[in-house]
Amino acid sequence: MTDHRTTRFHEKSREERIETIRSLAGLSDDDVEILKTEGGISFDEANHMVENVIGTFSFPLGIATNFTINGKDYLIPMVIEESSVIAAASKAAKIARKHGGFTMESDESYIIGQVQVVDVNVKSAIPKVLKASQKILKLANSKSKTLSEMNKGAKKVTCKKIKTKSGTMLIVELLIDVGDAMGANVTNTMCEAVAPLIEELTGGRTILKILSNHSTKRLVRGRAVFDKEDVGGKEVVDNIIHAYNFAANDPYRAVTHNKGVMNGIIAVANSIGQDTRAIEAASHAFASKNGKYTSLTTWKKDKQGNLVGEIEVPMPVGIVGGIIKVHPIIGVCLKILGVKSAKELACVIGAVGLAQNFSAIRALASEGIQKGHMRLHAKNIAISAGVPKHKIHEVVSKMTQENNVSVTRAKEILKSSD
Ligand code: MEV
């Protein structure tokens, strides 16, 4: 069940693909122009974004098709250098559509902000801080009119004592609903704002005032059913469950399994300018939450023998702030994606993570990963070997037929075909 709106999308020319997306996402002429500016960003824009800029650096931007999430169809921009990922996500989404696609839900956008207090009598300081919670929250919330007006912002103050080699410390934590932003900046601002009050209350000295990227209260979770026939039959379904149990019980496999999940998550996050390091850090910490690193997804069979995949992963993402308004192509990608809130964005990204994991373990549990991978990889190899455009198809076909994909072989084939 392909998304009929994008049937045979991969066979279209660039112009046709852009035209399809333009009409489906309601892009303007300006949006299309931005898409056609290779890389989507000028030197001047880059020069304002970071330091010591000497140029810009582009990655491929593709569209994953066939996704239906919570009953809505999405076109999903993905920015990634690795071949097969976008095709794999689209294929998984096509299979999942048969049983209604992905059902996802997201927590509120909660961040934890931390204020470190040293040189303090922790035992007597904790009740003083807790008693002044309302005053601390009011001061924190005075730093964001926008969040306060939305009835979001700092909601709760908690305290914890940690014993360290440099002494016992009090850690004061603010639980902040950052709404549609990723929220790092507002969290850090609030932590810095309340630090003098905390010093006054506790008689201690504050040092670090910063968000925690361990985003345990900002999770997205969901599931999809993959029909056993489309998966490849009972044996492949059973093999996928064996593959999952391998990851669930062996950290060496789990890291690779989760890398497949992150292929999807990070590619979407890249396209809309998210802090991918925050997502990665949070995900891997969450994968170790029970003291042993394990899989971020689970796989089982339903009563009909279909494959059921589930994912739960932190998703600290936003649709306002950061570089969203600074990098022109991000605005266009957001328009294509059509999400209206950070929570909806989290649901989409989580679904792509699950889809990506499905395709990877399905390939691994059946024909192996290399067959599909190699054809695309062979193209990159042919290009690196200097094969001209009109000869790429011939060289790639020969290398994959022979199962011998290398720069040396590409050069030999090119020479013999001259
Ligand atoms: C490659 O980028 C990702 C995989 O290694 C993931 C996995 O092994 O599950 C194929």
State the DSSP string of 25-67: HT--HHHHHHHHSTTS--HHHHHHHSSS--------EEEEEEE
Measured from CB, residues less than 6 Å from any atom of ligand 1 are 82, 256-257, 259-260, 263, 360-361, 364, 369
**Ligand 1 centroid to residue 364 C-alpha, Å:** 8
Higher pLDDT, 246 or 396: 246
Q: What pLDDT score does 248 carry?
A: 98
What whole-number distance in Å separates Cα of residue 269 and Cα of residue 86?
13
177 tagged catalytic: no
The active-site residue out of 98, 217, 259, 284 is 259
Q: pLDDT over 70 for what percent of the chain?
A: 99
> Which pTM was predicted?
0.91
Q: What is the mean pLDDT of residues 201-228?
A: 98
What whole-number distance in Å separates Cα of residue 341 and Cα of residue 339?
6
Where does the pLDDT of residue 362 fall: very low under 50, low under 70, confident under 90, or very high at 90 and above?
A: very high
Using CB atoms within 10 Å of the CB of residue 304, give its burial: 0 to 12 exposed, 13 to 18 middle, 19+ buried: exposed
In the chain, DSSP finds a helix count (H) and a strand count (E) of: 17, 10
Of the listed ranges 46-50, 98-102, 369-373, the least confidently predicted one is 369-373
CATH 3.30.70.420 in the chain, residue ranges: 110-212
Q: What is the mean pLDDT of residues 146-171?
A: 97
Q: Computed over its alpha carbons, how large is the radius of gyration of the chain?
A: 24
Q: What is the mean pLDDT of residues 105-111?
A: 98
CATH 3.90.770.10 in the chain, residue ranges: 4-107+219-366
**Ligand 1 centroid to residue 83 C-alpha, Å:** 12
Q: Which fold has domain 110-212?
A: Alpha-Beta Plaits (3.30.70)
pLDDT at 41 over 90: no
Q: What pLDDT score does 201 carry?
A: 98
373 tagged catalytic: yes
Q: Which two tokens stand for residue 176?
A: 């902040």
CB atoms within 10 A of CB 395: 24
Residues in the chain: 418
Q: What is the mean pLDDT of residues 257-283?
A: 98
Q: pLDDT over 90 for what percent of the chain?
A: 85
Q: What pLDDT score does 372 carry?
A: 67
Of the candidate CATH numbers 3.40.50.920, 3.90.770.10, 3.10.129.10, 3.50.50.60, the domain formed by 4-107+219-366 belongs to 3.90.770.10
Where does the pLDDT of residue 203 fall: very low under 50, low under 70, confident under 90, or very high at 90 and above?
A: very high
**Ligand 1 centroid to residue 361 C-alpha, Å:** 8
**Ligand 1 centroid to residue 255 C-alpha, Å:** 9
Q: What pLDDT score does 389 carry?
A: 86
pLDDT at 40 over 90: no
275 tagged catalytic: yes
Q: What pLDDT score does 67 carry?
A: 98
pLDDT at 376 over 90: no
- Ligand 1: atom nearest CA of 263 is 2
